[in-house]
Amino acid sequence: MVRAAIVGASGYAGGGLLRILAQHPQIEIGVAVSETYAGKPVSAAFPGMAKLSNVVFEGKGDGSRLRDCEAVFLAQENGKAMHLVPKLLANGSKIVDLSADFRFSDVSVYERVYKITHVAKEENRRAVYGLPELFRDDIQNASLVGNPGCYPTASVLALLPVVSSVDHNSIIIDAKSGVSGAGRAKFSLDYHYAEINESVSAYKIAGTHRHTPEIEQSLSQILGLDIAVTFTPHLIPITRGMMATCYAKLTEPIDTETLREHYREFYVDEPFVVVCDELPATKHTVGSNRCHIGLEVDERTGVITIVSCIDNLIKGAAGQAVQNMNLMLGLPEVAGLDTLGGQFP
């Protein structure tokens, strides 16, 4: 068994990691760090894990206990991982960082977007962006992976098979996320039940959302060109789930069925991407590490509409992190992630 540590284990992403790793056949939880719940069992933060794990939260994530772990998941807020990573790499650990600290190949983009000075620039040069469907070979050989954001995961997977066949200046992404995407520690007025219930709100529009450059980085790397997109996120009154509806102008006429078949062939070997005959819904992916994609072509306008759904806490965070770690450790990519998705009445 591979011994793993989770730093920031009492947040939503950390809780997802705890649940997945508690039932992972080849990775065991050795250390779970939470300053808030230090000294308490994991069931104090997540009562649903009672009797599933005997792990007790520790208050510090920078000591010798982490050095005993081959796999380390960092699930803290932005700006924290960069201080731990140099020591962990020196110890020979495999690291998946769920914050944004190691998602950008150009550190100056990170510093501009997150308003944080990066203190691990050398280590950042070793980091691999953790979207397996795009960078699987690099991830397998990596010691440090920056786990993608939830919006970029849903959006890039939607556009990846078709981005070379559309007008790059026409890409529009209209995305919607459940409240859990904000994290467990958000207590501002916008996230109070009375404010969000029965309401939908757009936020950080016109290129100001910090996931916009992350989406653009991936699409630009695919084509070798600088790509700019119009990205508008929305907060919707559900707990978890994400839908990215992407629009783009095709450069040549093509019908829906031909393009859908192209998507099926493109993702035929991908265990966590489902190309649907019908349009997907967020409930189809709840609890799973899968991304469901549906599409239609408007032959009047030559515009393709792609609908991509994920669970923002699983494929958008913890599940993808475990998927990446499986690849880094040479384990089966699907290990611990074969949970069925969907909510049922």
150 is catalytic: yes
CB atoms within 10 A of CB 233: 22
Cβ-contact 110, 103 below 8 angstroms: yes
Strands (E), the chain: 2-7, 27-33, 71-74, 94-97, 128-129, 144-146, 172-177, 201-202, 230-235, 242-249, 273-275, 291-298, 303-310
Cβ-contact 46, 15 below 8 angstroms: yes
Choice among 69, 150, 291, 309 that is catalytic: 150
CB atoms within 10 A of CB 6: 33
Name the residue among 144, 160, 62, 61 with its Cα closest to residue 103. Answer: 144
Catalytic positions, please? 150
